[in-house]
Amino acid sequence: MNVAVAKTGNGRAVSDLFASAEGRLPGSPDVIAVRREAFETYERLGLPHRRIEEWKYTDLRALVGEVLPLAAAPDAAALKRAAEAVKAHAIEGARKLVLVDGVFAADLSDTKALTAEVGFRTLREALEKDSGLLKTSSTDAVIALNAAMATDGVVLSIANGAQLSAPIQILHIATAASASSFTRSRVAIGKGARATIVESFVSAGAKAYQVNDAVIVTVGDGADVAHIRLMDDAADAANVSSHFVTVGANVKFNFFNMTTGAAVSRLQGFITLAGEGSELSANGVNLLQKTEHGDTTLVVDHAVPNCVSREIFRAVIDDRAHSVFQGRIIVRPDAQKTDGKMMTRALLLSDEAEADNKPELEIFADDVSCGHGATAGALDDSLLFYLKARGLPEKQAQALLIQAFVGEAIEQIADDVLREHVIGIAERWLERRS
Amino acid sequence: MALLEVKDLKVRVEEREILHGLTLTVNEGEVHAIMGPNGSGKSTLSHVIAGKPGYEVTDGQILFKGEDLLEMSPDERAAKGVFLAFQYPVEIPGVATMTFLRTALNAQRKARGESEYSTPDFLKKVREVSKSLNIPQDMLKRGVNVGFSGGEKKRNEVLQMALFEPSLCILDEMDSGLDIDALRIAADGVNALRSPKRAMVVITHYQRLLNYIVPDVVHVMSKGRVVKSGGKELALELEASGYAQFEDAA
């Protein structure tokens, strides 16, 4: 959508945002030109709001208001705090790549442990010659803003046929309060490769910060990939992340997103099945409380025939929190024999909790099997009483039923260590409730 | 010693009085049968003792080991030793039976200030008990009661009874939905749990169940009261003459 929106009240602050950050933004003169153009796009559009159809339920102008100034590069004290957070959130056996306040932290990362099959550069290094990294087909304002402002990220290239036994974990650590970080990463996975990528977003004591992240993933033919995103930012932070995934032929791609933090968050994933015979499993869990607003938006584009997509999404919403799930399945005219299914369920733990489910099927082929389902409801009183009659206190009975509810999505994670890690995050969220 | 004392209990559901002053005393080691026609309030009594929401106690009291049961939440009652075997045990998809059993047992022990079972000790205990009840191990790996037959669900109730070792077991229409073989297995399980320290209240519409679980005392309920109590021969008398005479008496 390309509507000309009058400058908002924060228009002036927005211009200052770029001008004051420009000296810190990496890239060749070509790259800076791309950034400037992206920023102009953002300035023209402003933050997305409810009259933009894709952002109907997540009005960033109302929820966030303004974009905070760019976070300063982390100093020694910040890196020390970040090191503690890395320890607390690292996945057992994973190769860690750490970004602190939007800047790659070499000392906290395991770059030396990466095998020869994994090419690694920072975005900062890559932008010295490649402005293509900042370009996407999207016209979305937050993505344009990301292109303009991205300070760093990881650029990974996994060789054809590589069989990575250890996950690669990209950790985003926030230490700076009342500031923004912008990161952009690219992960290129070679043909026949096997890899697990985990992204974690956490706070090291920072408050009221903003994160704008973008990840571009390409998956070569025959690859087997697990991509897991765990967003547990501070309770008063905002996180808007965009994924662009292009999947080749005969690929198994297993995506999972978990939202347990941030006052305002949106993950928007654009996944294109561009090669035949691929299987996509895209799943997610939102665990929201207090006044949190969590939006998971997935667009699955079946561009070619004979692909399968499965989406399982679960939201658990307490207090006055608001969960949004938008799932669109597009089946292009040539994409015959597409098999696409999406099932979303919301569990409302309070009378004031709110869930919006917006499933959309756009089918242009005539020989396909596609479907979606959506439910919303409270915990079943008869199940709660049964558990209580067996000795479980109210909160523990609720916790067991909530774990069962989200379990169906979490079970889609094949790796035992990762699945247990995710279950642990859900358990800690449940403990925070009681 | 009196384990359960129900005194002049009056209970309403949505403005309608179901129990009109029910009195019942169950001593340690005794097995009581409560019989009565549909709508006499048998299941209401079992639900009120277990603490199911939706019932308003307007008068009377329930003492359990001398303590006021009505002041306790359902989980506190369970930890104190009250066990209700449900007429229709619910299915809980996504909660593995083993997880459920361990969580419940440890929650009860924790509430009593006892040490929680370690996983190996717990597994050993479950294996012993489930073997005696003819419950296959794969049933324990499934979701609680999910896809279980009527007989399997009742055996699962008896399994819990054996694991939690309550001092009062209330069996609500345990025979409903069971064929004769399933009934025999479940009843054998219950009989194995009879002990001088444990009391049972067997709620049933039919005398049939009492051939397998032989009671010490039989009560007849009608219109929200106990209208007659006697020995096990009272059940046989009812079988022959029906409930009509008591409905008039009430």
Check CB contact of B112 with chain A, cutoff 8 Å.
Answer: no
Which residue has better confidence, B114 or B207? B114
Instruction: Give CA A203 to chain center in angstroms.
Output: 16
The DSSP 8-state label assigned to residue A167 in this structure reads P
Q: Which of residues 154-193 of B touch A (CB under 8 A)?
A: 160, 164
Please list the alpha-helical segments (H only) found in A93-163.
Answer: 123-126, 141-149
Cα separation, A1 vs A132, in Å, equals 23
Burial A238-249 (b: 16+ CB within 10 A, else e): bbbbbbbbbbbb
Query: Could you tell me which of B58, B50, B51, B72 has the C-alpha nearest to residue B13?
Result: B58
Strand pairing category for B217-222 and B225-230: antiparallel
Q: Which of residues 50-69 of B touch A (CB under 8 A)?
A: 50-53
Average pLDDT, chain B: 93
Q: Which of residues 199-218 of B touch A (CB under 8 A)?
A: none
Between chains, do A385 and B74 touch, taking CB under 8 Å as contact? yes
Query: Could you tell me which of B119, B114, B141 has the C-alpha nearest to residue B130?
Result: B141
Measured CA distances, B126 to A422, B98, B119 (Å): 28, 9, 10
Burial B73-103 (b: 16+ CB within 10 A, else e): ebbbbbbbbbbbbbbebbbbbbbbbbbbbbb
Of B89, B93, B107, the CB nearest to A393: B107
Between chains, do A400 and B84 touch, taking CB under 8 Å as contact? no
Domains plus CATH for chain B?
Answer: 2-249 (3.40.50.300)
Q: What are B134's two structure tokens?
A: 């003819």
Place of tokens 């952009």: A184
Chain A residues inside the 8 Å CB shell of B117: none
Between chains, do B86 and A386 touch, taking CB under 8 Å as contact? yes
- Residue A10: its pLDDT value, please? 46
For B89-138, the DSSP string reads: PPPEEEEEHHHHHHHHHHHHHHHTTPPPPPHHHHHHHHHHHHHHTT--HH
Mean pLDDT within B240-248? 78
Between chains, do B108 and A391 touch, taking CB under 8 Å as contact? yes
Half-sphere exposure of A33 (CA within 13 A, CB side): 7
Per-residue HEC secondary structure of B25-67 comes to EEECCCEEEEECCCCCCHHHHHHHHHCCCCCEEEEEEEEECCE
Query: Could you tell me which of B161, B160, B121 has the C-alpha nearest to residue B140?
Result: B160
- Residue A12: its pLDDT value, please? 47
Chain A residues inside the 8 Å CB shell of B50: 389
Between chains, do B51 and A382 touch, taking CB under 8 Å as contact? no
Distance from CA of B94 to the nearest CA of A (A): 4
Laid out side by side, the sheet with B82-85 consists of B82-85, B168-172, B199-204, B31-35, B217-222, B225-230
- Looking at the predicted structure, is the pLDDT value of residue B206 above 90? no
- Residue B246: its pLDDT value, please? 77
- Tell me how many degrees the CA angle A301-A304-A309 measures, rounded to the nearest 5: 50
Of B93, B95, B111, the CB nearest to A391: B111
Between chains, do B51 and A389 touch, taking CB under 8 Å as contact? yes
CA-based nearest residue in chain B for residue A380: B92
Query: Could you tell me which of A81, A240, A268 has the C-alpha nearest to residue A149?
Result: A240
Strand pairing category for B92-96 and B199-204: unpaired
Cα separation, A178 vs A431, in Å, equals 28
Distance from CA of B105 to the nearest CA of A (A): 7
Between chains, do B53 and A381 touch, taking CB under 8 Å as contact? yes
Q: Give the ipTM.
A: 0.96
- Residue B249: its pLDDT value, please? 53
Cα separation, A372 vs A327, in Å, equals 9
CB pairs below 8 Å between A and B: how many? Answer: 75
- Residue B64: its pLDDT value, please? 98
Mean pLDDT within B32-59? 95
- Residue A13: its pLDDT value, please? 52
The band of B248, judged by pLDDT with boundaries at 50, 70 and 90, is low
Whether the CB-CB separation of A17 and A43 falls below 8 Å is answered with: no
Instruction: Please provide residue B47's backbone torsions phi and psi, each rounded to the nearest 5 degrees.
Output: -65, -40
Instruction: Please provide residue A405's backbone torsions phi and psi, each rounded to the nearest 5 degrees.
Output: -65, -45
Q: Which pLDDT tens digit goes with each residue over B3-31? A: 999 999 999 999 899 999 999 999 999 99
Distance from CA of B117 to the nearest CA of A (A): 15
Check CB contact of A389 with chain B, cutoff 8 Å.
Answer: yes
- Residue B164: its pLDDT value, please? 96
Chain A residues inside the 8 Å CB shell of B92: 383, 386-387, 401, 404
Chain A residues inside the 8 Å CB shell of B84: 389
Chain A residues inside the 8 Å CB shell of B104: 387, 390-392
Chain A residues inside the 8 Å CB shell of B52: 385, 389
- Residue A6: its pLDDT value, please? 39
CA-based nearest residue in chain B for residue A410: B94
Neighbours of A258 (CB within 10 A): 27
- Residue A434: its pLDDT value, please? 67
In terms of Cβ atoms closer than 10 Å to its own Cβ (0-12, 13-18, 19+), residue B58 is exposed
Chain B residues inside the 8 Å CB shell of A399: none
Check CB contact of A404 with chain B, cutoff 8 Å.
Answer: yes
Cα separation, A228 vs A254, in Å, equals 8
Question: Helix and strand tally (H, E) in chain A?
Answer: 9, 19
Query: Could you tell me which of B236, B106, B241, B49 has the C-alpha nearest to residue A391?
Result: B106
Write out chain A's pLDDT in tens, 434 residues. 344 343 444 444 556 889 888 889 999 999 999 999 999 999 999 999 999 999 999 999 999 999 999 999 999 999 999 999 999 999 999 999 999 999 999 999 999 999 999 999 999 999 998 888 998 888 899 999 999 999 999 999 999 999 999 999 999 999 999 999 999 999 999 999 999 999 999 999 999 999 999 999 999 999 999 999 999 999 999 999 999 999 999 999 999 999 999 999 999 999 999 999 999 999 999 999 999 999 999 999 999 999 999 999 999 999 999 999 999 999 999 999 999 999 999 999 999 999 999 999 999 999 999 999 999 999 999 999 999 999 999 999 999 999 999 999 999 999 999 999 999 999 999 998 86
Q: What percent of chain B has pLDDT over 90?
A: 78
Between chains, do A386 and B90 touch, taking CB under 8 Å as contact? yes
Q: What are A29's two structure tokens?
A: 């003169």
Between chains, do B79 and A397 touch, taking CB under 8 Å as contact? no
Whether the CB-CB separation of A275 and A246 falls below 8 Å is answered with: no
Domain ranges of chain A: 70-379
Cα separation, B117 vs B154, in Å, equals 25
Chain A residues inside the 8 Å CB shell of B77: 389
Of A380, A389, A397, the CB nearest to B50: A389
Between chains, do A394 and B73 touch, taking CB under 8 Å as contact? yes
Between chains, do A381 and B75 touch, taking CB under 8 Å as contact? no
